[in-house]
Structure 1
């Protein structure tokens, strides 16, 4: 990537109910691609598009710590701003979070917001989704074989995404405004499917089909705290 005068901070938000291997793989994928200096994890307070979360905020933060405590050679920060807003009964949207991060990190930092292909398909429903590009880049990833052309993207999102398409070099060396899509992430799993499987099975390593989908430390935590039964 060459010499970069400003840092690059990756931002991965989500319910993390529970955090799973797909989250870890997405973060690691872009850490490697962009040679980032920091990974910022932002657990949701109470996402406005979802029903009530099963694990509480403290449990989700603990699972994040377990999932990301090893395997990363850069600082990993758990940013609880959305949880704090939920405690105050304040609405919380991604645009608010990214604007707060921009104020904190400065005008020159490359802020890269990471999303999965499923979130990209739903981007048109997000509040002020176009303004996200004013404060960050947006990078998405999917399993091999997934095609944006066949993903059924909202027409306006597809047009905006294509117009803003940039290279990894441009994203690494500018603060915001670009999009990038990678098809090299061989994960295709959702937290919903994992919760359903955890509820259905006996939750033992011998029979638990989700063992390979959840970091082992997180699975131990889930079992110890009797979550998702």
Structure 2
């Protein structure tokens, strides 16, 4: 039986994603969400077999190691290998159910980027998912800000809870970082130093 943590009025943030690789934008988003809602901790959960990713991704173990390197030294950030260890596809609704069994009575805040939120209707059991968490959305660009805020308003009118994280625009993507490595360009300043060194050591994205 999994151990339950009963800490009423505490709040945790869930930061899911492929993290292939984890980059500065992810960490800024997590820290801004932490401070915005005064969260007690952020749990990073690298995806195992994400249903929305069709192309081959780096092994779960390597992505897990990169996340561990990225958050090392921050006592508010922890990593969970739940999805990486799963042998089936990773659905956020199932992960939230797992988290709620462990962190009983915690308020759960799910942190996501603008792109993911704008396609939330495509998520598995998205309405059930939205009913279980408060969603914190990180804006990505000024050009799409109006559309983002309209979408947040629309979702909230259905009785859910979505808020925009008041953070700076950081248009950094793992896809672009992988592309730069592949083209022999240097994306080192998009990444925590230890993650950058790990990528070079393991020969990833070449």
TM-score by length of 2: 0.88
Runs of 4+ in 1 over 4 A off after TM superposition: none
The corresponding residue for 2:80 is 79
RMSD in angstroms over aligned alpha carbons? 2.2
Match runs of 1:118-133 below 5 Å: 118-133=115-130
Unaligned segments of structure 1, at least 5 residues: 165-176, 203-207
Q: Is the 8 A contact 2:66 2:198 kept in 1?
A: yes
Residue-pair matches, total = 200
The corresponding residue for 2:4 is none
Q: For each residue in 1:64-84, what CA deviation from the matched residue of structure 2 results, as whole angstroms up to 9, or x when unmatched? A: 0111113x342x321111112
1:67 aligned counterpart, secondary structure: helix
- Rounded to whole Å, the distance in 2 between the matches of 1:161 and 1:188 is 25
TM-score by length of 1: 0.79
2:60 pairs with 45, 57, 61, which one? 57
In the superposition, relative to structure 1, how do residues 30 and 152 fare at CA in structure 2: closer, same or farther (>3 Å)?
closer
In the superposition, relative to structure 1, how do residues 144 and 57 fare at CA in structure 2: closer, same or farther (>3 Å)?
closer
Match runs of 1:5-44 below 5 Å: 6-44=9-47
Q: For each residue in 1:112-137, what CA deviation from the matched residue of structure 2 results, as whole angstroms up to 9, or x when unmatched? A: 00000011111111011111122211
1:223 pairs with 195, 200, 206, which one? 200
Q: Is the 8 A contact 2:142 2:169 kept in 1?
A: no
- Rounded to whole Å, the distance in 1 between the matches of 2:196 and 2:70 is 10
The corresponding residue for 2:94 is 96
